[in-house]
């Protein structure tokens, strides 16, 4: 049975065998030369038939070995599976050659002929010593060559029994032992050198790949920032134009209510476009920072299908599309919110890029997985775009960056979210006929326990009883705007632009809530402000942190603080709900 070696060991083993074949020519030249010289020197010392027969067999075996090596080298690269066969074939022929050279000892043994004895000792010592460098890359090859080369002469010397030949036998064995030990050292040296070469090659390849990945990431980052800058610049530009128009309307002799309402609606639309982009960028940053954690639980997939149908049925009908959601009785064990986010992005794209026909949301069991498919009859996607569409801001048919066709971030979020919950995203598409995105998740047949019903939360009436809010922001315009907004909702407002001013503002009232920006001047954070205010009051104060920071470091710091976080630009309705929720929360430490 063949033992499987690790990939690196197999590569080293293959290279050792290749080295064995590459170093063969000097051995063959030595065999030919020494055999010819032996015939010449011993022609008058050894019977001719014996000498010629021995030399003929040497030349024949050497020729066969040359043919074997030539064919192997001519064949080019060999598969790793063929390495053992090549190796042991070479070892076998080396053993045959060693037996032929070792035959000199008993065949030409002449105790009374000093020339033959001395020459035999020289040849055997030279052949065993000279083959160390060529055969030691794979030590069994040297062993099967050296042992039959030396042992017959040593054995014949011991059998002869005279002191001189006994000493020759001992010296032969001693020389053999030295050569075998040296062969193992050479083999380890060659093996280590080859292994080091492979490690260096792998390291160079790894460094090259890392360099290419870094360059790709740098290019992607530049493209990302350029696209994000363009998409942020558009609504900002629109806001400036609408504000200029609003000022002109305010200077008119008579203010038309309808015109003001129209401008306000357009301002709100531009702000929503900016907010949409920033929220999506925030989602990507949170996914990359690892802040979003999957919370798997058992749930009935049909509930999510019904929610998605309600979400997109009107948008599909407005374009004359038919949205079909095939009912299912499947249960899943994953994060239902993140899964719904994935399917929502896929359905949004399907509605946006389908002009006629239908959109299908369905699932099926396949090889132990549940495959949820969103299929449309839209424009389709060419195969060479399959990998690119999951990059940020990449849109196949939106080179002009028309925001009406989306931001090009939905599939980037889909891929990141799928990785988070362990789902596999697959795509089948034909240009002009439509696309089918599938989300595959592990499926189990056993029923799930019913989830407890959620308890409805009673709405909170904002601004009741002149409740006090401490607002902290180092930007004066933002601070004034937030103070005016909260005052219009009926709250008493304490305003501050720094941690010291926030503590000093406590002399004017006791806040029930701190609403603070995250990044303040002098490297102070909103978390520092909340702690200072709580320390000055002697009790923890409910707080909300407002931030525009989307960096992974900032997101992680906010997540670790435990405070609720709102991201700029703020949605007024979301801000109202967040304030209401915090004011209804019992104050920690208030006994």
> What pLDDT, on a 0 to 100 scale, did the predictor assign at position 279?
64
> What pLDDT, on a 0 to 100 scale, did the predictor assign at position 569?
72
More confident residue, 398 or 575: 575
210-225 burial: b if 16+ Cβ within 10 Å, else e: eeeeeeeeeeeeeebe
- Residue 180 clears pLDDT 80, i.e. is over it: yes
- Residue 286 clears pLDDT 70, i.e. is over it: no
pLDDT band at 95 (very low <50, low <70, confident <90, very high): very high
Q: What residues does each domain of the chain span?
A: 7-207, 297-442, 468-583
pLDDT band at 242 (very low <50, low <70, confident <90, very high): confident
* Torsion angle of C-alpha atoms 577, 580, 585, 587, degrees rounded to 10: 130
Q: Among the listed ranges 242-246, 284-288, 386-390, 582-586, which one has the minimum average pLDDT value?
A: 284-288
Query: Taking the complete model, does pTM exceed 0.85, yes or no?
Result: no
> What pLDDT, on a 0 to 100 scale, did the predictor assign at position 33?
92
β-pair partners for 323: 359
Measure Cα distances from 76 to 9, 22, 70, 73, 87 in Å. 21, 12, 11, 6, 16
- Residue 121 clears pLDDT 80, i.e. is over it: yes
When mean pLDDT is compared over 37-46, 258-267, 517-526, the highest value belongs to 37-46
- Residue 176 clears pLDDT 70, i.e. is over it: yes
SS (H, E, C) 110-173: CCCCHHHHHHHHHHHHHHHHHCHHHHCCCHHHHHHHHHHHHHHHHHHHHHHCCHHHHHHHHHHH
Report the C-alpha gap between 59 and 61 in whole angstroms: 6
| Token representation of residue 525 | 């954070």
DSSP, res 498: S
> What pLDDT, on a 0 to 100 scale, did the predictor assign at position 100?
93
Architecture of the CATH domain 297-442 = 2-Layer Sandwich (3.30)
> What pLDDT, on a 0 to 100 scale, did the predictor assign at position 149?
92
The number of angstroms, rounded, from the C-alpha of 410 to the middle of its chain's C-alpha atoms is: 21
Q: pLDDT over 70 for what percent of the chain?
A: 82
Same fold, 297-442 and 468-583: no
432 and 377 Cβ atoms separated by less than 8 Å:
no
> What pLDDT, on a 0 to 100 scale, did the predictor assign at position 404?
46
> Mind listing the pLDDT tens digit for each residue in 66-81?
998 888 888 777 766 7
Report the C-alpha gap between 408 and 399 in whole angstroms: 11
553 and 561 Cβ atoms separated by less than 8 Å:
no
> What pLDDT, on a 0 to 100 scale, did the predictor assign at position 171?
92
- Residue 456 clears pLDDT 60, i.e. is over it: no
**What is the average pLDDT value for the chain, to the nearest integer?**
81
Q: Among the listed ranges 8-17, 46-55, 266-275, 454-463, which one has the minimum average pLDDT value?
A: 454-463
The number of angstroms, rounded, from the C-alpha of 159 to the middle of its chain's C-alpha atoms is: 70
Report the C-alpha gap between 148 and 230 in whole angstroms: 82
3-state DSSP call for residue 301? helix
Report the C-alpha gap between 465 and 85 in whole angstroms: 92
- Residue 132 clears pLDDT 70, i.e. is over it: yes
> What pLDDT, on a 0 to 100 scale, did the predictor assign at position 358?
92
* Torsion angle of C-alpha atoms 86, 92, 97, 101, degrees rounded to 10: 150
pLDDT band at 582 (very low <50, low <70, confident <90, very high): confident
- Mean pLDDT calculated for residue range 164-188: 90
> What pLDDT, on a 0 to 100 scale, did the predictor assign at position 529?
92
321 and 354 Cβ atoms separated by less than 8 Å:
yes
3-state DSSP call for residue 425? strand
Instruction: Tally Cβ neighbours within 10 Å of residue 182.
Output: 15
pLDDT band at 285 (very low <50, low <70, confident <90, very high): low
- Residue 539 clears pLDDT 70, i.e. is over it: yes
Q: Is the peptide bond before 569 cis (omega within 30 degrees of 0)?
A: yes
> What pLDDT, on a 0 to 100 scale, did the predictor assign at position 178?
92
**How many residues belong to the chain?**
591
Measure Cα distances from 209 to 195, 214, 217, 391 in Å. 21, 8, 12, 19
| Token representation of residue 40 | 């010449």
> Mind listing the pLDDT tens digit for each residue in 409-438?
678 778 888 888 889 989 898 888 899 999
- Residue 152 clears pLDDT 90, i.e. is over it: yes
- Which residues, other chains included, contact 549 with Cβ-Cβ below 8 Å and sequence gap of 6+? 518, 519, 555, 558
Query: Residue 356, class by beta-carbon neighbours within 10 Å (0-12 exposed, 13-18 middle, 19+ buried)?
Result: exposed
394 and 388 Cβ atoms separated by less than 8 Å:
yes
> Mind listing the pLDDT tens digit for each residue in 311-350?
888 889 989 999 999 999 999 999 888 898 889 889 988 9
3-state DSSP call for residue 2? coil
CA angle at 456 for the pair 340 and 541, rounded to the nearest 5°:
95
User: Would you tell me which CATH number, out of the four given (3.40.50.2300, 3.20.20.100, 3.40.50.880, 3.40.190.170), belongs to the domain 468-583?
Assistant: 3.40.50.2300
| Token representation of residue 332 | 């899943």
Q: Among the listed ranges 5-14, 181-190, 249-258, 551-560, which one has the minimum average pLDDT value?
A: 5-14
- Residue 447 clears pLDDT 70, i.e. is over it: no
> Mind listing the pLDDT tens digit for each residue in 520-532?
887 888 999 999 9
> What pLDDT, on a 0 to 100 scale, did the predictor assign at position 391?
66
Query: Residue 427, class by beta-carbon neighbours within 10 Å (0-12 exposed, 13-18 middle, 19+ buried)?
Result: middle
pLDDT band at 265 (very low <50, low <70, confident <90, very high): confident
- Residue 449 clears pLDDT 50, i.e. is over it: no
| Token representation of residue 445 | 């047949």
Report the C-alpha gap between 374 and 443 in whole angstroms: 18
């Amino acid at each position: 049975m063949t033992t499987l070696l690790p990939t690196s060991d197999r590569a080293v083993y293959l290279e050792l065998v290749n080295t064995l074949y590459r170093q063969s020519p000097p051995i063959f030249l030595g065999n030919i030369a020494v055999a010819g010289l032996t015939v010449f020197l011993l022609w008058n010392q050894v019977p001719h038939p014996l000498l010629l027969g021995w030399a003929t067999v040497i030349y024949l075996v050497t020729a066969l070995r040359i043919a074997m090596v030539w064919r192997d080298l001519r064949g080019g690269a060999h598969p790793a599976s063929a390495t053992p066969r090549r190796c042991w074939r070479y070892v076998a022929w080396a053993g045959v050659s060693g037996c032929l050279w070792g035959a000199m000892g008993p065949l030409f043994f002449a105790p009374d002929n000093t020339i033959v004895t001395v020459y035999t000792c020289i040849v055997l010592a030279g052949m065993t010593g000279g083959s160390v460098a060529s055969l030691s890359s794979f030590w069994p090859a040297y062993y099967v060559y050296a042992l039959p080369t030396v042992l017959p002469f040593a054995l014949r010397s011991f059998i002869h029994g005279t002191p001189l030949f006994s000493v020759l036998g001992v010296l032969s064995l001693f020389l053999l032992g030295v050569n075998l030990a040296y062969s193992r050292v050479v083999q380890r040296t060659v093996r280590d050198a080859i292994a080091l070469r492979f490690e260096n090659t792998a390291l160079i390849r790894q460094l090259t790949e890392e360099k290419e990945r870094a360059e790709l990431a740098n290019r992607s980052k530049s493209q990302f920032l350029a696209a994000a800058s363009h998409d942020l610049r558009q609504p900002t530009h629109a806001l400036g134009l609408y504000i200029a128009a609003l000022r002109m309307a305010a200077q008119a002799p008579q203010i038309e209510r309808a015109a003001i309402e129209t401008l306000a609606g357009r301002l709100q639309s531009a702000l929503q476009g900016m907010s949409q982009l920033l929220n999506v960028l925030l989602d990507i940053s949170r996914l990359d920072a690892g802040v979003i954690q999957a919370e798997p639980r058992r749930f009935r997939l049909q509930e999510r299908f019904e929610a998605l149908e309600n979400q997109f049925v009107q948008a599909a009908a407005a374009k004359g599309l038919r949205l079909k959601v095939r009912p299912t009785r499947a249960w899943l064990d994953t994060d239902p919110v993140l899964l719904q986010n994935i399917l929502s992005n896929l359905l949004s794209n399907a509605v946006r890029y389908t002009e006629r026909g239908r959109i299908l949301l369905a699932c099926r069991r396949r090889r132990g997985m549940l495959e949820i498919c969103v299929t449309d009859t839209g424009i389709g996607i060419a195969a060479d775009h399959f990998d690119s569409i999951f990059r940020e801001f990449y849109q196949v048919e939106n080179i002009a960056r028309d925001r009406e066709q989306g931001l090009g971030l939905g599939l980037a979020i889909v891929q990141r979210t799928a990785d988070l919950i362990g789902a596999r995203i697959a795509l089948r598409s034909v240009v002009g006929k439509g696309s089918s995105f599938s989300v595959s998740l592990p499926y189990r047949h056993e029923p799930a326990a019913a989830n407890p019903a959620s308890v409805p939360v009673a709405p909170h009436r904002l601004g009741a009883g002149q409740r006090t809010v401490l607002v902290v922001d180092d930007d004066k315009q933002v601070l004034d705007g937030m103070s005016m907004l909260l005052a219009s909702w009926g709250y008493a407002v304490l305003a501050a632009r720094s941690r010291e001013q926030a503590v000093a503002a406590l002399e004017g009232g006791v806040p029930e809530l701190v609403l603070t920006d995250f990044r303040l001047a002098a490297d102070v954070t909103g978390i520092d402000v909340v702690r200072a205010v709580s320390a000055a009051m002697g009790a923890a104060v409910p707080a909300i942190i407002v931030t525009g920071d989307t960096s992974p470091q900032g997101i992680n710091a906010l997540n670790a603080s435990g405070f609720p976080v709102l991201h700029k630009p703020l949605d007024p309705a979301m801000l109202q709900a967040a304030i209401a929720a915090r004011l209804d929360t019992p104050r920690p430490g208030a006994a």
